[in-house]
Chains A and B, each alone.
Chain A
């Protein structure tokens, strides 16, 4: 469908060159909720993320106020001990996974394409899928309240507290399944944004010219892609322990509880940077704008962010100094933790240097950005204290840690988010926020936060443990708990005032915002507020770092660049059509998750919905011209880039599964042992079969690329057949093992072997289904030369499954 122009663009348009926006079937004109449910526009999805996450943030805040009310005075009975456990578990889980992360995702969605001069993200429908899966996960987790069984084992759910004997009800099932759903949403979104940022930048926007916010977002996406698989595997083990009686966290069967702690914190520490780096990016945009100076040492800031992300993977065990890893391991993680403070310190000093000598405009956004610099520094310094194992032994599980964590996540992340809200609100809504009320709101939050959390350092030093639901009179903790609770209420009031400020702005009280209300430096300010559906009438030119500022005022010497002519796309602007299938897939996942707890029939219905939705999703825009040209800045197709990124994530997933098999090798307390049961000659044959399937796959790709349909069909069918033969070998092997007495429940070897090889078999099954779908397309004459990338991407997945088996064959079967 051709929609003509949207007609309401007030941005910089080339005179006489009206853009022609082209949508593709089905018709894009949908109204109201249907429009929202099927939107694939990054800006609307960003707003959906923002509104949903803010609602969850209010819920998490309410839980926090109940916690603080219970601790106001000794021996209060506002809530029971059991309810208190649920409150601190849900508060932590909600704030981390349902509030801070998705509030950052709201900015990623809304701002990144605008900042890099793109019309949307690389995969708009996948973007919608990420949002709906996030919503499904969040609602599913909170549905536990309605069923009277909220999770209650802490936000990091240490095993074996979470195993069936110690948590017999469905509470932990809600927690575990919702985190899996939310993890899937995060990884899908991260792969999408990596492809978008690396491949969809406007011409001239080199990596080093990208705004700091985009850089920090890029680092965060890599952290998500690489860190989430570890906790995914940890949760898979927990799921199998709880539902199928495996022994991953069963000490009596030889299991090691440290396994969960390692898997959780391998994810959990990078997660801290996932939460804080976007705030660093926001501050790095806000401070230069309101100081009217370029960011001091921008390149060093970029490298610092990369280093923080890299070192973030080498410090996880500083959360575990108390478990007894030994002095050398403790020292190694302590040193790594102290090193990570260096690039963080660089950022603090560079922000100060950016403000130094600038013509400061103390907007509310600036207040929050400067507030972050001060308050995050306090949280960072107490973090360096924890890097020392002897000090950490004293502070571990005390209120000192609670204070530290909140100085990082409120003083850091939340202040950054508020800075971003005040900064980009005019762009998102076309209306300004009330600066006077905003300043009041800032001071309520800033004062309330410090009064609430600074005293918690004293409480920790006085020995108050975290997670106790009450305390005795005469403990010495009464005064600071009282003060802390008062501060929490002031903080809560500050958040409510923001709601008022936001509603007033939307209900016409807010002045209309121009396209560039702050005299901004980056490309998002170059289009109207709010931007049109297609973001820019023509892809904007990029003149250097802070390109829009250079365009307006020139470089440091005031020399303006020669203006480049913006030529609208002669074929019109291609925008993808809306899709309802992401919502169907997410709904299927939620139904299946409920089924896992309550009834197998629901699992079948949910899985059916998901599979049908996924197939319809994959096939609905098969020949959409908007999807044809997908080669971007890296000279590679978005889909290939996304698949390689995903395979990097899969390296972590299988690496963790294989590592667990090795960690538990020889620890089974009963037989059979691997050497008594593994059939190496048979597995050598199945390995050969899988290797040859890879040969057939490359032959199929070559045939599609040269347009030889007969050969393409033959080799695709052959690959799928060889895959099916491999699965038949695996089914035979599993059946034989069960007959010989080895099941998932028999011993640690059975648990690790079946889960590892079973997951690999699951990947092969998905590969076979994918190949069959391609075969169907080919039989319908819809797999031409122009579709070769689809076959190549399927091939990459297939070959990866093959190389994973190469490792499994050696590690599990051949090494004695």
Chain B
């Protein structure tokens, strides 16, 4: 048996959970604030990315685990985002280019 790698403390987990809850509440609130409409999409994507990162870093322990795991996941994620952006922009304008 090998020792378990050091993970966050219960206190840290609770703090992360509180932050996740607050961000979720913020996400819900900002869609009703009209003055934020011009920046709503980047704002929501940023909040979402923040939540994503918190769960992956602390709950999935990537912050505490060996670096190759981070490389494995992050490189797959970046490549997947790149391909997804290409597919998502398929109708009308493919990638950022007009047909």
Contact = CB atoms under 8 A, between A and B. Distances in A.
Q: Do chains A and B stick together as partners? A: yes
Contact of A656 (B10, B31, B84, B89): B84
Contacts of B77: 648, 651
A640 B69 contact: yes
A663 interface: yes
Nearest to B1: A786
A694 interface: yes
A313 B83 CA distance: 8
B91 interface: yes
B73 A807 contact: no
Looking at A225, A667, A684, A795, the one whose CB has the most chain B CB atoms below 10 A away is A684
Contacts of B80: 226, 648, 651-652, 655
Contacts, number: 180
B95 A806 contact: no
B33 interface: no
Contacts of B48: 806-807, 809-811
A647 B73 contact: yes
A691 B17 contact: yes
Interface string A401-444: 00000000000000000000000000000000000000000000
A667 to B, nearest CB: 7
Interface string B45-86: 101100110011011110001101100110111011111111
Contact of B28 (A263, A684, A699, A788): A684
Contacts of A695: 13-14, 16-17, 59
Nearest to A330: B97
Contacts of A781: none
A677 interface: no
Interface string B22-43: 0011011001000000001100
A222 B50 CA distance: 27
Contact of A681 (B14, B28, B51, B79): B28
Contacts of A681: 28
Specify the main secondary structure of chain A where it touches its partner: helix
A351 B73 CA distance: 34
B81 to A, nearest CB: 6
Contact of B72 (A645, A701, A705, A811): A645
B82 to A, nearest CB: 8
B66 to A, nearest CB: 5
Contacts of B14: 695
Interface string B1-21: 110100110100110110011
Nearest to B98: A326
A641 B99 contact: no
B99 A324 contact: yes
A634 interface: yes
A464 B27 CA distance: 59
Contacts of B41: 815
A655 B40 CA distance: 22
B69 A788 contact: no
Interface in A537-572: none
B52 A807 contact: yes
A249 to B, nearest CB: 13
Given A635-B66, A636-B65, A640-B69, A230 B83 contact: yes
Interface residues of B, number: 58
Contacts of A807: 48, 52
B72 A788 contact: no
A201 to B, nearest CB: 13
B83 A655 contact: yes
A657 to B, nearest CB: 9
Contacts of A664: 91
Contacts of A655: 80-81, 83-84
B60 A810 contact: no
B23 to A, nearest CB: 9
Contact of A256 (B40, B60, B91): B91
Contacts of B90: 256, 258-259, 262, 663
Contacts of B24: 684, 687-688, 691
Interface in A226-247: 226, 230
Question: How many of chain A's residues touch chain B, expressed as a range?
Answer: 35 or more
A634 B67 CA distance: 9
Interface centre among A640, A702, A799, A814, by most chain B C-beta atoms within 10 angstroms, is A814
Given A256-B90, A695-B14, A799-B55, A810 B72 contact: no
Nearest to B68: A634
Nearest to A258: B90
A648 B80 CA distance: 8
B31 A814 contact: yes
Contacts of A648: 72-73, 75-77, 80
B97 A636 contact: no
Contact of B2 (A266, A631, A697, A792): A631
Given A631-B2, A656-B87, A644 B72 contact: yes
A667 B56 contact: no
A357 to B, nearest CB: 38
B68 A198 contact: yes
Contacts of A811: 48
A667 B90 CA distance: 12
Given A256-B90, A651-B77, A680-B31, A266 B83 contact: yes
B56 A329 contact: no
Contact of B88 (A326, A640, A659): A659
A800 interface: yes
A705 B61 CA distance: 14
Nearest to B8: A698
B19 to A, nearest CB: 10
B47 A802 contact: no
Contacts of A640: 65, 69
Contacts of B94: 325-326, 329
A266 B84 CA distance: 10
B2 A816 contact: no
A422 B1 CA distance: 43
B99 A663 contact: no
A804 to B, nearest CB: 9
Contacts of B45: 810, 815
Q: Identify the interface centre among B25, B87, B90: most chain A CB within 10 Å of its CB.
A: B87
A779 B88 CA distance: 46
A223 to B, nearest CB: 11
A109 interface: no
B4 A705 contact: yes
Nearest to A701: B7
A263 B76 contact: no
A384 B90 CA distance: 26
Contact of A816 (B31, B47, B87): B31
A810 B44 contact: yes
Contacts of B73: 644, 647-648, 651
19 contacts: A259-B90, A329-B95, A329-B97, A651-B73, A651-B76, A652-B80, A659-B85, A663-B91, A680-B28, A691-B17, A691-B21, A695-B13, A698-B8, A702-B7, A702-B13, A788-B4, A795-B60, A796-B60, A802-B59
Interface of B: 1-2, 4, 7-8, 10, 13-14, 16-17, 20-21, 24-25, 27-28, 31, 40-41, 44-45, 47-48, 51-52, 55-56, 58-61, 65-66, 68-69, 72-73, 75-77, 79-91, 94-95, 97-99
Interface of A: 198, 225-226, 230, 256, 258-259, 262-263, 266, 313, 324-326, 328-329, 332, 628-629, 631, 634-637, 640-641, 644-645, 647-649, 651-652, 655-656, 658-660, 662-664, 667, 680-681, 684, 687-688, 691-692, 694-695, 697-699, 701-702, 705, 786, 788, 792, 795-796, 799-800, 802-803, 806-807, 809-811, 814-816
Q: Which 6 residue pairs across A and B have the least CB separation, nearest first?
A: A648-B76, A655-B84, A326-B99, A810-B48, A659-B87, A659-B84
Given A262-B87, A701-B7, A705-B7, 11 more contacts: A313-B83, A325-B99, A326-B99, A634-B68, A635-B66, A681-B28, A684-B28, A691-B17, A692-B21, A698-B58, A816-B40
